[in-house]
Amino acid sequence: MKNALTLAAAAAFLASASAFAQAPDEMQRAKEFMQKSKAMMKPELREKADALPPEIQQFLFKVAVKHTRRSDTLTMRQVMQELLADYQAVAGAIATDNGELAADAARRLAHHRLPRGGMLPYLALDKINAKDLGVLPAMEEAVEGGAMKLAAAAEKGDMAAAARHFGDVTAGCVACHAHFRGQPGVSARLK
């Protein structure tokens, strides 16, 4: 037991040390991604993005630092398709007691790609304000925090706990879609 604790402490130290070593580079890349994204925005969006308060800007920066896979071409819908594929992989793995697959897919989900231009271009213009975007940290915690807890539980073989965290992840998908998305694919050619 004592050995296991020492090993865990050493692993944690190594993880934090390497995160530290990478940090300046990743911060720089995230900063470039944010600047490039802003430069792509048409004026109506750019104005709203620039007017966001510092706490929202900081949250968006934190997201850009954490998500090191940043696409130059993919739309948010395409990123969401990838999220869905990982989400379904997690569901199947939990149901079939495959903790390793569940953990891998959940971590991938938590570190999903960022779409071209970041997230803001894909949200309705009237949602680009402090109040509406203020809900994002809670949704991120449900989806990405939940996925990381799910991964840890699944790796320990505690599939019941993984299933509970899967519920939190799902609640995060649901809440964000309810807030920012509405029903997809509604036809303008129906009365």
**Least CB distance from residue 128 to ligand HEC, whole Å?**
12
- What's the longest Cα–Cα distance across the chain? 69
Q: Quick one: 84 or 130, whose CB is closer to ligand HEC?
A: 84
Distance in angstroms (rounded) separating the CA atoms of residues 51 and 8 = 44
Tell me how crowded residue 128 is: count the other CB atoms within 10 A of its CB: 19
Q: Quick one: 3 or 183, whose CB is closer to ligand HEC?
A: 183
Cβ density class 168-178: b for 16+ within 10 Å, e for less: bbeebbeebee
Q: Quick one: 56 or 83, whose CB is closer to ligand HEC?
A: 83
**Least CB distance from residue 113 to ligand HEC, whole Å?**
13
Distance in angstroms (rounded) separating the CA atoms of residues 77 and 160 = 31
Closest CA to 118 of 182, 169, 59: 59
Is residue 78 within 8 Å of residue 124, measured between CB atoms? no
**Least CB distance from residue 83 to ligand HEC, whole Å?**
5
Q: Which amino acid is at 182?
A: G
Q: Quick one: 145 or 172, whose CB is closer to ligand HEC?
A: 172
**Least CB distance from residue 53 to ligand HEC, whole Å?**
18
**Least CB distance from residue 4 to ligand HEC, whole Å?**
33
Binding positions for ligand HEC, rule: CB under 6 A: 76-77, 80-81, 83-84, 87, 122-123, 139, 143, 169, 172-173, 176-177, 180-181, 184
Residue length of the chain: 191
Distance in angstroms (rounded) separating the CA atoms of residues 65 and 107 = 16
Q: Quick one: 46 or 179, whose CB is closer to ligand HEC?
A: 179
